[in-house]
């Protein structure tokens, strides 16, 4: 599972994670938790998609700049 090492990097262990989930259950109730998790999952999915599109745009810009530079060193001055 990929999220466990990430949580461990922040010093969150199994006990702390259970406490956080228990508090979320108390605050939001059992009926709201699935919809909150679904919304969080969709947000992460959209963020990853936008980050990937941003990387693609950056690569296209870099390639366009490379093609605009003159091949020989004798460009207009």
Per-residue pLDDT in tens (0 to 9) along the chain, 77 residues: 455 566 666 787 888 888 988 898 898 888 888 888 899 899 999 999 988 887 777 677 776 666 665 555 555 65
- Residue spans of beta strands (DSSP E) within 1-77: none
CA distances from 34 to 5, 41, 42, 53 (A): 24, 10, 12, 29
41 and 52 part of one domain? yes
Which residue has 């605050």 as its token pair?
A: 27
pTM: 0.48
- Give CA–CA dist 1/60, Å, rounded: 34
Q: In this structure, are residues 7 and 17 in contact, taking their beta carbons and an 8 Å threshold?
A: yes
45 and 35 part of one domain: yes
Report yes or no on 13 lying in a domain: yes
Domain that holds residue 4: 1-30
Give the per-residue pLDDT at 1: 46
């Amino acid at each position: 599972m990929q999220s466990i090492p990430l949580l461990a990097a922040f010093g969150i262990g199994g006990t702390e994670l259970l406490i956080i989930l228990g508090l979320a259950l108390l605050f939001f109730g059992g009926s709201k938790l699935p919809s909150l998790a679904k919304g969080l999952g969709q947000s992460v999915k959209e963020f990853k998609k936008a980050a990937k599109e941003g990387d693609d745009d950056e690569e296209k810009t870099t390639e366009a700049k490379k093609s605009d530079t003159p091949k020989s060193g004798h460009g207009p001055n």
